[in-house]
Amino acid sequence: MSFALFSPTDLADLRARYGKLYTGAVADILDRRGFRHQVLPRHIQARTRENRVAGLAFTGQGHPTDRTTDDDSQTRVHMLDSIAPGTISVWACGGSENCAHWGEMMSTAARERGCTGAVLDGGLRDLSFVDAMGYPVFAAFACSASSVGRWNIQAFQVTVRIGETTIHPNDFVFGDSDGVVVVPREVIVDVLTDAEDIQRRETGMREELRRGLSVKDAYARYGSL
């Protein structure tokens, strides 16, 4: 899948604008548009101090293995060399729970390719090193064990599923302290503008309520949010 969906300038602008929002507003807009399964499972949270991500999904799929001789290093290298700038690395780990699927070296390699964060339904290790990088990683858990002989990368830039959410390459991934929401690529801009409108109206309503306006009058002035 090509990343020519947006020019580098347009993508940078989208990332900056989404970065000023919060996931709740985006999730509400998606619900109203009929996309009701776009929030990733609640246990996928920022495990790093840096807790915001915004960018196009660079997807990956892996599965558990019990063969200690398995070696997915060539696939891993090819995957890392294929990452495009402005993306978020999104991994479906196939139910693997006995190892880390992301760590310092993956963060370093991905960051050097322009990947601005990672989201995975698996494990993270080397947390102190990743924190020192200021690199945001959302994961299901922390684990010290290596993935070698426990989990293999199978494919990347393919459609994956995490919880009830189907994620395509180039969908937009937005995460903050409340979790992660995925915006289908065909509505990235529309959802953004609607969420910005909600945020503007919420800001106005909040200020009016603090000045003593009644809730009834505030809703009459700003509408239902």
Distances (CA, A) of 217 to 138, 209, 210: 40, 9, 13
* Domain chopping of the chain, boundaries: 8-186
Confidence band, pLDDT 50/70/90 cuts, at residue 211: confident
Number of residues that make up the chain: 225
Contact 33, 64 (CB under 8 A): no
For the ranges 41-50, 138-147, 193-202, the lowest mean pLDDT is seen at: 193-202
Specify the pLDDT at position 63.
97
Structure tokens at 22: 């919060």
Specify the pLDDT at position 216.
75
Q: How many CB atoms lie within 10 A of CB 66?
A: 8
Specify the pLDDT at position 177.
97
Distance of CA 48 to the CA centre of its chain: 13
Specify the pLDDT at position 210.
82
Q: What is the pLDDT of residues 54-77, one digit of tens each?
A: 999 999 999 999 999 988 989 999
Residue 217 pLDDT greater than 80, yes or no: no
Residue 218 pLDDT greater than 60, yes or no: no
Residue 4 pLDDT greater than 50, yes or no: yes
Among 200, 166, 161, smallest CA distance to 185 is for: 166
Specify the pLDDT at position 149.
94
pTM for the structure as a whole: 0.91
**Rg, the chain, Cα only:** 19
d(CA 47, CA 177): 10
d(CA 57, CA 118): 9
Which CATH superfamily groups domain 8-186?
A: Ribonuclease E inhibitor RraA/RraA-like (3.50.30.40)
d(CA 106, CA 84): 15
Specify the pLDDT at position 92.
98
Residue 193 pLDDT greater than 90, yes or no: yes
* Residue-by-residue DSSP string for 133-145: HT--EEESEE--S
Task: Measure CA of the first residue to CA of the last residue in the chain; give whole Å.
Answer: 36
Give percent above pLDDT 90 in the chain: 82
Specify the pLDDT at position 2.
45
